[in-house]
Amino acid sequence: MAERLPGYSRTRIAQLIETGHVRLNGKVPRKRDRPAAGDVIEMDVPPAEPSHLEAEAIPLAIAFEDEDLLVVDKPAGLVVHPAPGHARGTLVNALLHHVPDLGGIGGVRRPGLVHRLDRDTSGLMIVAKTEAAHRGLSAALKRREIRRLYLCAAWGHVDAEAFTVDRPIGRSPSNRKRMAIVQEGRRAVTHLRRLERWRAADYLEARLETGRTHQIRVHLASLGHAVVGDREYGAGAERGTSGPQRLWARQFAAMLSRQFLHSAELAFRHPRTGEPIVIRSPLPADLAAAAEWARGTSSR
């Protein structure tokens, strides 16, 4: 169904199956049921349910907005949607205050969200304000028609100026809260380009072809070049730096209280008008200061 209905995510379709809105030959199926040739699948989409999430007057940096969508420039430290341990104070709570009729669009728990960012990743995110916009943007994301560019710093030096990582990502067999490179995982593709070579780290541009959870962080860590400041996939990575670069690496790590990863550019076509939209976000102050220090100390 996800392959035939590009406007709906696998998660959304699974929810519709679980709630009885999908029929296989007139009967409610299980998610694992496999249709055969000649079977008839029917789906009815219920109207958006009212959200029970609380709207909160949390300041938002809006990079673009019209009647169909908005692009938020999310600060680091802001959780995107409510989850265990983060029932309030999330981006979704802020969005419900900014767009009062957002509740239920694209799902009650994550209204309006087309894609997500990790809590400690800053930068641009698209949010749909109507169900039609959500379907159109979700379909474009699935067709890989939304360009997503990130800026990051990674420990050590990569082997080429530009290269592609194509390694499947799934839940770690040893820790289900983490992601890992696993052969049975979903295909994940990241295109990387070195922008600057610093003393013991590289400044990189990362373009997502797919969008798996923690994709850039997992891919770079799998190469031995963890994102600077990534405490989950690269904790203490600076200690592996030897020789005269070791002090530099420790000083650079000490400058950051979070991972050096920023969603810097989104390019897509407007879901209703087809007009091309390009939104850019400069490095926030904490990352910009660290980059300036790294740049200056690497040129000596």
| Measured torsion, CA atoms of residues 222, 225, 228, 229, in degrees rounded to the nearest 10 | 30
**CA 161/CA 152 separation, integer angstroms:** 14
Asked if 107 and 12 count as a contact pair (C-beta separation under 8 A), the reply is yes
**CA 191/CA 189 separation, integer angstroms:** 7
Closest listed residue to residue 171, CA positions, set 184, 162, 161, 160: 184
Asked if 136 and 272 count as a contact pair (C-beta separation under 8 A), the reply is yes
> Which of the following is catalytic: 33, 73, 118, 286?
118
**CA 53/CA 60 separation, integer angstroms:** 17
Catalytic site includes residue 68: no
- Where are the strands (E) in the chain, listed by range? 22-24, 41-43, 62-65, 69-74, 122-128, 147-155, 162-166, 169-171, 179-181, 189-197, 201-208, 261-269, 276-280
Catalytic residues: 118
